[in-house]
Amino acid sequence: MPRHSYTYKALNSLVGKAIHRYGMIADGDRIAVGLSGGKDSMTLLWALAERLKRVPVDYTLLPIYVDPGFPGGFAENLSMACRQMGFDLHVDYSDHGPMAHSDANRENPCFLCARMRRKRLFQIADKLGCSKLALGHNKDDVIETLFMNICYAGEISTMVPRQEFFNGRFTVIRPLAMVDENSIQRFARAQDFPRFANPCPSAGNTKRSEIKGMLQTLYRSNRKIRGNIYRAMSHVKPKYLLK
């Protein structure tokens, strides 16, 4: 892919803007990068690695993949893709997926699986000497989480670009928080990132998928809506909210 293509420059500009605005990365950081095998996390690893070549801030990237334990996993192929990018992937084999989808947990398998995965990522990051965990959530994920929490949790909240856990012991950073999903899709295609089939039986059939479909309908009606919703999350008027 040409270095100075529009997609490349736009992506790096937004990643850099997010990193600077929220103080995500400091010199000497050891950053665990949570991979899922999807376009977002692969783009995240690429962008952070490429950025190392251009900025006067030195940090170390350690990609991690928690295999959920479903048949048809792709850990070996993902490891190969990481090696081609110059990284050794730390793979953790778990049974989180089947456990979350067992008869003992019929109500919300995605919530339980995600919670167990995040807990394991923190544990591995700690073992690797990392105080920061980078995740590939993008602008659309942030918006969708706002609506998920409104509709299903009865609160106005979302995932934030930089968030501390355990009294500051760990910090989760989301450098793609300002990049929309469509831009990441175009970039991933241009980079020819490998595509892995998601073996999870709940893939594409979740509450998040329903929210995504609703929002896509809104976006098609007015191209300004996505940006307006995103900006609204940092322009809150508490005076006009219920108490």
Q: Which residues are annotated as a binding site for ATP?
A: 34-36, 40, 66, 136, 141
Q: Is there a contact between 105 and 196 (Cβ–Cβ < 8 Å)?
A: no
Q: Is there a contact between 59 and 53 (Cβ–Cβ < 8 Å)?
A: no
- Bind-site residues: 34-36, 40, 66, 136, 141
Distance CA 39, CA 43 (A): 6
Q: Which two tokens stand for residue 46?
A: 């690429």
If one counts every other C-beta atom within 10 angstroms of the C-beta of residue 97, the result is 24
What is the DSSP code (8-state) at residue 153?
A: I
Rounded-to-5 percentages of helix, strand, coil across the chain = 50, 10, 40
